[in-house]
Amino acid sequence: MSHNDDPDPITADIVLQAYSMGLFPMSESADDPSLFWVEPQRRGLIPLHGFHMSKSLRQTLRAGTFEIGIDVDFDAVIGACASTRKDTWINPRIRTLFSELFERGMVHTVECRQNGQLVGGLYGLSIGSVFFGESMFHTVTDASKAALAFLVARLIYGGYSLLDTQFVTPHLRSLGAIEMDRILYRGVLRQALDQDADFHALGRETDPSPEDAIRIIQHARQR
């Protein structure tokens, strides 16, 4: 972990290079203008074949509780991710950098809405066959879980090999997240970066039907 008190030298291209090396940027708080690089000793990830979808989550998806969108409103998603966390690391510099990467087609969102209102979602960075999950939020029950389920289905269908979660929380562990030693992770990362994947293989604006998403995830678990 190293600090950089002047955020200006950090460009979007440097962010991409850092992620390819296993690093990611954070800030001490939303009001802190500086960034620092993080490389956890134990890296969090969700094996795409091991995503745990509970019966209640399947019922929520099948009920059509949420309208799912892709890459519709990045600013709203990252803003909600920052505002719904008491300890957010998402400062204005991170928002600017990831907004640029979104415009370049390398950052993506999964968005859950009810009656047109954004109630949950996530965003992350896509390089090769790796999706680096950055942050997620919800304002109604199960909205972030639904977003993650649709993300996993999209990544499986699009040929991804790695879903990076940075750290493992109890919430993510309940969904199948595991920890990997940093050295081992570096090797897995290198292989995944050399493979191609297509985030939009299932479409560019909407996700598959809930039944299709469930089927994709269950099929992967049976491999």
**Nearest of 41, 45, 78, 69 to residue 175 by alpha carbon:** 45
Q: What is the pLDDT of residue 1?
A: 45
Q: What is the pLDDT of residue 71?
A: 95
Binned at pLDDT 50, 70 and 90, residue 205 comes out as: low
Binned at pLDDT 50, 70 and 90, residue 204 comes out as: confident
**DSSP structure class, residue 198:** -
In a 10 Å sphere around its CB, with 0-12 CB exposed, 13-18 middle and 19+ buried, how is residue 1 labelled? exposed
Average pLDDT over residues 151-167: 97
Contacts of 199 (CB under 8 A, 6+ apart): 108, 126, 131, 154, 155, 158, 160
Q: What is the pLDDT of residue 87?
A: 79
Domains and CATH numbers, the chain: 2-221 (3.40.630.70)
**DSSP structure class, residue 113:** E
Helices and strands of the chain, counted as H and E runs: 8, 10
